[in-house]
Each structure stands twice: as C-alpha cells, then as structure tokens.
Structure 1
Amino acid sequence: MCRDYLQPALLIFASIAIGVVGWSGHVLLLPVALGFPVLWSISQTRSVAALVSSGYFLAASRGLPQGVAAFYSSDIWPGLLLWLGASMSFVAVHTLVWTMNGRARPFRYLLAAAVMAVPPFGITGWAHPVTAAGVLFPGWGWWGLGVMTAGLAGLVTRIWPAVAIAFAGPWLWSAAIWTDPKLPEGWRGVDLDMGASLGREPGLQRQRDMIATVRGAASDGARFVVLPETALGFWTPTVARLWTNAFRDDDGTVIAGAAMVDAGGYDNVLVAVDGRGGHILYRERMPVPGSMWQPWRSWFGESGGARADFFANPVVSIGASRAAPLICYEQLIVWPVLQSMLHDPDLIVAVGNGWWTEGTSIVAIQRTATTAWSKLFAKPIVIAFNT
C-alpha cells in the first residue's frame, strides 16, 4: 500500500522540481524541462498524469500570482485564481491524451505538444519543452526542431533512457561552447528602469527624456535604436510630430512600443520613427490574456481591452532588413516565433515591459525563451525591456 502512494508522490515532486529548474531563467537549464514528458509517460494512471502535469506547469509559471498582484495592486488571490485557471488547459490536454497503450503514447504526446503550441490552447502554452531545441541544436533551424520533436516522441516510450543519453551529449557540448546570440550590426536595444511609470506619464518632459536616451544610445553609430514595450505611451499625431522633428536631421530610426487607442479598444504596437515621419510597424499578435486581451467584453456589448491579431504581420520591414517582432507575452508561447521563422527574417526584435514582475523570474524566462529560439534559427536578436 505504501508503495502504491510512494511512486505517484515521487513523480509529482519530480515534476515540480523540473518545472522550477527548467524554467528558472537560465537558458542552459531549459533541457531539464524534457524530464516532464518522461514523468508523464511513466504515470500509472490518468489521475497521476494530471497531477504530474499540474505540478510541472504550476512550478514553471510560479511567478504569475505575485506578478498579477503587483500589476493590479491587489492581494495575492486574483493572481492565484489566474494561475490555477491558466493551468487548466495544459492539464486538461495532457490528461485527456494520456494512455496506457505504449504504442499509441508517442502519437498522443505529440498531439498534446501540437495542441499546446497553437491557438486556442496555445494561448496559455507556456513552458513548452520544445523550446529547449535552441540549447541542444543551436543553428539547426527547422532540422533541429524536427529532431527535438522526434526526441519528445522517444522520451515517452520504453527507450526513454537511451533518448535521454542521446540528448545529454548535445546538451553538454552546447554548454561548453555556448555564446549569446549576436546583436545585429548598427542596432541597439535600450533597457529602461522606469517601473510602472513607463507609458503612463503623459508629460512632454518624459518624451524629451526618452529622446535624449535614444540619442545617447545612437552616439556610437547605431542606426536603429529599439525601446521597450509602451515606451512612447499613447501614439498620437502630436507624439509622432514631436519624435519626427527630433530626428529630422538624423538618418537613424527609432523602434518603440506604444498603444493605439480607439472607441473599440486598443492595439499594443511597435512604431518606427525617423526624420520623415512615423508609422505603425507591428501590431501585437497575442497580448497578455486577462490583463490586456479580454474577448469576453464583446459578449456583453462592452468595449475595451487589447486586440489580438493572432497570425497577422509575422515579419516587418525595417530599412533593408526583415525583422520578427515579439512583444512581451509572445515570447512565452510557441506559435508567434515559429510563424515568424517560416518567413526567414533577418533578425528578431524582442521588447517587453516587465515592471510588474519584480521579484519573479518572468522577465528572465522571457529572455531565456527568446534567446533559445534565436540560437536555434541562428538569428541575431535585439532585446529591450523596462523593469
């Protein structure tokens, strides 16, 4: 009887440890997440598989309750409810597809992995083990993704020890020779430390301070300077004229986050500004569910909330380059970056505004995931965050 309870308990504790370590914000630890498919596959019952899935996902997303509490300036309970609610899709999918049939198990797991990578379930498809492909197979691109997918299928079979050993070699080699992705020539990403005030202070002085920050970043010859999400606040004709006039005599371009508001809601965007004017460069495909994207408002005839463009504008043209933009939440899920990579961009531009994540590993995980994808597809990357 004790043995009947001991194995499930060990699997659950192991899944929690894998979620904590694999998604700690250190890129070279991402392959630890590959232990989850193994634990899922050796679960003896569907209920144990559900608990293993819960332990892994809740541990990997452990920063959410504290982050939500900070974002809404509330107690911990709304964050806990959102944390548990977000885990429901991951747990439900992996519980539903679990099977005792060893022959069917690889196909079932790959089905779960695919479902959690694309909408609608992929909207909360955080902590996806496939992200580790960038650590194990840097530069392999789609071939590396294919090998990783085959490896995930192997990890849920009886030969999983052999597959794990096969993965250990590339992991150790990658750790030994690891270098961070390159910054594209002529590009600069500017990290800010303005907390919750970024994008919320409408004064002219804040815009002038931001312009001075850009000039300082461009002083060493950078032609493209990237500012974090919502750096410019609301994008209006007045703000556009101010920035255009500021760079009328320069040949550089500023890429910055902003919000475009109308009667129906708003778009979280990246704008490009140079001496000739400014324009919307990119509309976020997947804003943060709950705090930004609130589709249920329309069910009750209400307006507001950020729009999700889902599969729109996967790449944008900036000068002579084609960039794959990723704003904040898009860095935590799978389909935006893979959709962009289908168009073979020249670089990745990743921005965020993570002031509300202080004391958590959320921003570190965003940087880690984006870095892993950058390494997998051998794309230079520009990162700009506000904390």
Structure 2
Amino acid sequence: MRRDQLEPMLLIIAAIVAGTIGWSGHVLLLPTALAFPFLWARAQTRAMAALISAGYFLAASRGLAQGVAAFYAFDLWRGLVLWLCASLSFVAVHAMLWTGNSGARPFRYLMAATLMAFPPFGVTGWAHPLMAAGVLFPGWGWWGFVAMTAGLMGLVTRMWPAVAIALAGLWLWSAAFWTEPKLPEGWRGVDLEMGSTLGRDASMQRHRDLIATVKDRGAGGGVTIVLPESALGFFTPTVERLWVKALEGTEITVVAGATVVDAEGYDNVLVVVSAAGSGILYRERMPVPGSMWQPWRSWLGETGGARAHFFANSTAAIGDHKVAPLICYEQLVVWPILQSMLSDPDYIVAIGNGWWTQGTSIVAIQQSTATAWAKLFAKPLVLSFNT
C-alpha cells in the first residue's frame, strides 16, 4: 500500500482508538481525547478531516445506538440512525473549519472547539477534549481551563511535539497523585438499582420504599440526601405532602430528581424536600435532544416535550450553600458546568437515571466528566445515579 493511502487510514484508526479509550468511562483516560486535535491537524484534505472527526466522534459516542434502542424498546437500526445523525454537527464543524494553512490552523481549531462547547452546535458537543482539563490541571480552576485551551491549540501547530511532551508529563504527574473529589460534609448521594421503574412506578409503595431508604441513609439527622434523576416521578401536590409529612420529626433534607408537568410540556427538575416544606431547586438547562427536548413541536403548534432552560438557574441555594446542579445529559456537554462555575458554587451535584444505558459506558462517562470538572475547580462532588 502506498504511503498516501496508508497515512489517511492510520489517522482514522488512531482517531477511533482515541475516541474509544478516552471515552471509556475511566476519568484518568480522558486525556487520550487530546489526540484528536493533533490527528485533525494532520489531515491533508477537508474530506480526510471529516473522516477523522467522524471516526473519533462515533467511537466516543458508541453507546448511544444501543442506549437509544433500549430507551425506546425498538430495534437497533433506529438507534444507529440517531447515532449517525448526532455526529453531523461535530463532523460538519471540524470539516468546515479545517485548513491546510498551518499558521491559521490554531485559530481555526479554537473556533471549532468554541462552537462545539456552546449552543447551538454545543447541544451535541459530546466528547469534547476540554473535559480532560481536570485530569491535567486539577485545582487550577479557570487558569487550568485556559491552559487546556492553549494546549489544544498547541497540538495543531508545528510545536506539537513539545506541547505533547508537556501535557503527557502533566498527565503522568496527575495520575500518580490522583485523589477523588471530596464529598461535602453532611451530604450523601444514593445510587439506586431500580431500572426503568424509577420515575414510572408512581405507587405509594414505591414512595414508601424511597422514604425508608432516605431515613436509613440519613440516620443521625442533619444530613442532605441526594436521589437520582426522576426519583420522585411526577411532583404533584399529593407527592409533595406525602414526603413532607414523612420527614416530619427529622432533620433530613432530600434533594431529588422529579418531573413537573403543565399544559405546554414538562420540566426535568431537582426538588428539595424537608419537614419544613418543599420547592423546585433547579430546572434542567439541557434535556436530551430528540428524546426529551423536541423544539419542533412548538414550531408545529404542538405541545409536549421537555423545556430547555439553556442559560437559566445555573446554581441553586440549599441552606447556606450554593450548588451547581447537573442532570444527566448536562454532564456530557460543556457549557452548563462553565456557566455554573462563573457563580463560584460550593459544591457540584450530578444526578442521572441511566437504566437505559445497560451494557454501555454512558453512566461511567457521565461520572468521569463530573469528576474531572470537580477536580479542575476543586469542588466537592455529590453523585447519585439509578441503573
């Protein structure tokens, strides 16, 4: 095989490997994704840049096809179609901004990275290499974010060997001294294994079981218990009264995922419940596109679907503390956590309902990205997931 044929093939294979390893769900492997900008810069044509981008993104998001098929209980082919459609924005942005001009390449890549970090393209901006910043620059905060951005730009220049060596050294140093984010004092995240019934089983018995779990984990009082996404199902006045009454005589505060429905659609929310009452803490900024967020419904004069509160309620107050909430899909894209960090919250609270991801690494990826952001900004982290 001639060199001009072999090199493109090797670049595509390397991009697939980078996407597979970097997004395997192990937080310390996230920096593998930094190979992507280097490989993108090595492309000799725009078409090759598109193929490299597609290989990386499709490998990184490989669990989507199986997960979508499980969520809707339909055949794998439809999941594959959605998986391919989801890659279009990533591939299109990186193909359009690719250039053979080495002098302009760093700024072109910066533009691509920025577009994939924020709406509208950032709505499907999964597998963003910026998410590795917390592994390479733990505790650096915004300076670490800037350093990571500069490093990504450096990888597409002729100085890439020096940049790669420096980043590799930081990676090894971080891995050698790695510690998990701290759990906030007085907070406990509860992981559940209730499968698809969580949020769908609205029976009194299910609520009593959850209340019993909360009281068991909160024994001793003065504790904030976090439950996964959709844990309380539809948050109706009846459900609210049941939980408030059940917590009477305790000092337990419950932060849990729920759904609030009205005539126009619904909000995926975090609610807070205690003996003193309840309230909505947070409305999800970015529900899952397609399955939850369906903007075309309003364009067609229809109702239904989850609302996206893109840049609203970036933090929530619980007692004397300010938290940055991340619900499920928000852990896979960049701008929600960056927006929250602008307000300098005390903690990060990340929840999800990943029963539909069984057999994939999606939940592990969500947890690893939440961990990486918490490490970057030196914030305590609470995780709560249902599988």
Q: TM-score, normalised by structure 1?
A: 0.99
Deviation digits for residues 244-272 of structure 1, max 9, x if unmatched? 00112112210000000111110000000
- Output the amino acid matched with 1:380: P
Determine the C-alpha separation between the residues in 2 that align with 1:272 and 1:317.
Answer: 10
Instruction: Show the 5 A alignment for 1:239-318.
Output: 239-318=239-318
Unaligned runs of 5+ in 1: none
Determine the C-alpha separation between the residues in 1 that align with 2:150 and 2:222.
Answer: 42
1:23 pairs with 2:23: yes
1:10 pairs with 2:10: yes
Correspondence for 2:40: 40
- Measured after TM superposition, the shift of residue 222 of structure 1 is 5.3
- Measured after TM superposition, the shift of residue 170 of structure 1 is 1.0
- Give 3-state SS (helix, strand or coil) of 1:219's partner: coil
- Measured after TM superposition, the shift of residue 164 of structure 1 is 0.4
Determine the C-alpha separation between the residues in 2 that align with 1:333 and 1:176.
Answer: 27
- Output the amino acid matched with 1:44: Q
Determine the C-alpha separation between the residues in 1 that align with 2:46 and 2:384.
Answer: 43
Correspondence for 2:93: 93
Contact 1:258/1:271 (<8 A) preserved? yes
Contact 1:317/1:323 (<8 A) preserved? yes
Correspondence for 2:226: 226
Correspondence for 1:365: 365
Correspondence for 1:354: 354
Determine the C-alpha separation between the residues in 1 that align with 2:75 and 2:366.
Answer: 24
- Measured after TM superposition, the shift of residue 220 of structure 1 is 4.9
Determine the C-alpha separation between the residues in 2 that align with 1:352 and 1:217.
Answer: 19
1:54 pairs with 2:54: yes
Runs of 4+ in 1 over 2 A off after TM superposition: none
- Give 3-state SS (helix, strand or coil) of 2:383's partner: strand
Correspondence for 2:201: 201
Correspondence for 2:109: 109
Contact 2:71/2:356 (<8 A) preserved? yes
Correspondence for 1:181: 181
- Output the amino acid matched with 1:184: P
Determine the C-alpha separation between the residues in 2 that align with 1:284 and 1:383.
Answer: 16
- Give 3-state SS (helix, strand or coil) of 1:351's partner: strand
- Measured after TM superposition, the shift of residue 86 of structure 1 is 0.6
Contact 1:255/1:272 (<8 A) preserved? yes
Deviation digits for residues 200-257 of structure 1, max 9, x if unmatched? 0111111011000100111155510000000000000000000000112112210000
Contact 1:188/1:222 (<8 A) preserved? no
Q: TM-score, normalised by structure 2?
A: 0.99
Contact 1:186/1:221 (<8 A) preserved? no
- Output the amino acid matched with 1:284: E
- Output the amino acid matched with 1:71: F
- Give 3-state SS (helix, strand or coil) of 2:260's partner: strand
Contact 2:221/2:252 (<8 A) preserved? no
- Give 3-state SS (helix, strand or coil) of 1:66's partner: helix
Correspondence for 1:119: 119
- Give 3-state SS (helix, strand or coil) of 1:158's partner: coil
Contact 2:227/2:385 (<8 A) preserved? yes
Deviation digits for residues 327-354 of structure 1, max 9, x if unmatched? 0000000000000000000000000000
- Give 3-state SS (helix, strand or coil) of 1:352's partner: strand
Correspondence for 1:146: 146
Determine the C-alpha separation between the residues in 2 that align with 1:24 and 1:161.
Answer: 25
Contact 1:249/1:275 (<8 A) preserved? yes
Correspondence for 1:81: 81
Determine the C-alpha separation between the residues in 1 that align with 2:100 and 2:380.
Answer: 43
Instruction: Show the 5 A alignment for 1:154-165.
Output: 154-165=154-165
Aligned-pair RMSD on alpha carbons?
Answer: 0.8
Unaligned runs of 5+ in 2: none
Determine the C-alpha separation between the residues in 2 that align with 1:193 and 1:251.
Answer: 26
Q: Which moved more, 1:336-345 or 1:249-258?
A: 249-258
Determine the C-alpha separation between the residues in 1 that align with 2:316 and 2:186.
Answer: 17
- Give 3-state SS (helix, strand or coil) of 1:259's partner: strand
- Give 3-state SS (helix, strand or coil) of 1:255's partner: strand
Determine the C-alpha separation between the residues in 2 that align with 1:299 and 1:146.
Answer: 39
Determine the C-alpha separation between the residues in 2 that align with 1:124 and 1:220.
Answer: 43
1:331 pairs with 2:331: yes
- Output the amino acid matched with 2:101: N
- Output the amino acid matched with 1:173: W
- Output the amino acid matched with 1:261: V
1:344 pairs with 2:344: yes
Correspondence for 1:63: 63
- Output the amino acid matched with 1:127: A
Identity over aligned pairs, percent: 70
- Give 3-state SS (helix, strand or coil) of 2:349's partner: strand
